[in-house]
Structure 1
Amino acid sequence: MATVMEFTSPSAEFPLGSVFEQLSDVTVELERLIPHETLVIPYFWVRGAAVEDIEAEFDAHAGVDAIKLIDSVEDEYLMRAEWDREYVGILSALAETNLVVLTGVGTNDGWEFEVRGERREDISGFRDYCQENDIPIDITAVHALLPIQGEGYELTDTQREALVMAYERGYFNSPREASLEDIAEELGITQQSLSSRLRRGHRRLIAATLMRQ
């Protein structure tokens, strides 16, 4: 059965976290991760700084072979990096164990991840890799995916919880009866993590309903 694990890690432990050293107000959100033989290619959104400053900070990192701006939406930038696979850290751990990153949000205060393994053994393999390579992680939850109405489409527990609470608190009403800050505080997570869970939950629900033939 597919299993989801949530964990946190210090900001410096994930290679993309190097940007926080000079740009402390930046938020980085991992979009997807593509492992290759010698490289790991992360796509990620960055907000809170000018794109030139972001590129300069990543260019200076020893693990980065290349970085490119892919798209921008207002003050958010979608970046693509080519990362040396031999650079040991959470990025290499994710690539080596083939876990799927559901959410990954980083700030100067640290990283919050939600990852999926097709088998529970995949989660154990990731944990073992981190222990063997002294990569600090704090596991906060492990749970199975929940199918929606038996159709094989899945939300994580945390995505379902966020969507249901946002609905019940009136976040989707017009005018809104609750803010992201209110709901995030009630769930005990950051606003960035809540925003990511809502967005990915919406994407999965749309794919399971409107996009079905």
Structure 2
Amino acid sequence: MATVLEFTSPAADFPLGSIFEALPEVEVELERLIPHDTLIIPYFWVRGVAVDDVEAAFESQASVGHIRLIDSVEDEYLMRAEWGEEYVGVLSALARNNIPLLTAVGTKDEWNFEVRGESQEALSEFRSYCQENDIPIEVTALHAMRPIQGDGYVLTDTQQEALVLAYERGYFDSPRESSLEAIGEELGITQQSLSSRFRRGHRRLIENTLIDQ
């Protein structure tokens, strides 16, 4: 059974991490990755930054080559990067162990990852690889993916918990009866992590209910 592993990693120990020193309020989210022989995650989103030249802000990022702006929507920027082949870290560990990356969101505090393994054994091998290669990760959740309605409408336990709690607290009401901060405090996670969890859950619901497969 497919299993989801959620873990964190220090902001400074990941490519793009030094951006938080110059822009502490920024949030970076990587696009999803299916492992490949050549490790490349070319696209990522940057949110919460108001600079004239967002490309220049990333020029000094370790293990990352050329970065350029692809598109922008208000204060969200879609960037394209070239990862250095010499990079050894979380992303190379995922590729080596054939573990798909579902989401990765970075803030000045830490990076939050969500990955999927075809079995718990596969995820155990990934964790062992990280330990053997001094790649710092801290596991925060491990759970099976399961349908929530019929066949294929898949949410993780944490996504379902967050969305149901938000509904019960009136977050989706108009006007809203609660906030991301309040719901995050109740769940024991940051506002940024909750926002990312909402986006992942919404995306999966849309993919499996509104999109023709």
TM-score by length of 1: 0.90
CA deviation vs aligned residue, 1:101-156 (integer Å, no higher than 9, x gap):
22322111111111111222221121011111101111111110111223123111
Distance 1:72 1:156 in 2: 30
Distance 1:54 1:123 in 2: 35
Give the length in aligned residue pairs: 213
Answer with 98-107 or 44-53: which moved more.
44-53
| Alignment-mate amino acid for residue 188 of structure 1 | G
User: RMSD of the TM alignment (CA)?
Assistant: 2.0
Distance 2:97 2:122 in 1: 7
Shift of 1:96: 2.0
Any idea what SS the aligned residue of 1:134 has? coil
Distance 1:203 1:108 in 2: 25
Q: Which residue of 1 aligns with 2:113?
A: 113
Cα 1:161–1:57 shift into 2, 3 Å: same
TM-score by length of 2: 0.90
Answer with 92-101 or 180-189: which moved more.
92-101
Q: Is the 8 A contact 1:159 1:197 kept in 2?
A: yes
Answer with 199-208 or 42-51: which moved more.
42-51
Q: Which has the higher strand share?
A: 1
Structure 2 unmatched ranges of 5 or more: none
Any idea what SS the aligned residue of 1:140 has? strand
Shift of 1:58: 2.6
Answer with 60-69 or 127-136: which moved more.
60-69
Structure 1 unmatched ranges of 5 or more: none
Q: Is the 8 A contact 1:170 1:177 kept in 2?
A: yes
Q: Which has the higher helix share?
A: 1
User: Structure 1 vs Structure 2: percent identity of aligned residues?
Assistant: 73
Q: Which residue of 1 aligns with 2:140?
A: 140
Alignment pair present for 1:91 and 2:91: yes
Q: Which residue of 1 aligns with 2:169?
A: 169
1:72-91 matched pairs, under 5 angstroms: 72-91=72-91
Answer with 152-161 or 60-69: which moved more.
60-69
Distance 1:182 1:60 in 2: 36
Distance 2:6 2:34 in 1: 20
Q: Is the 8 A contact 2:43 2:80 kept in 1?
A: yes
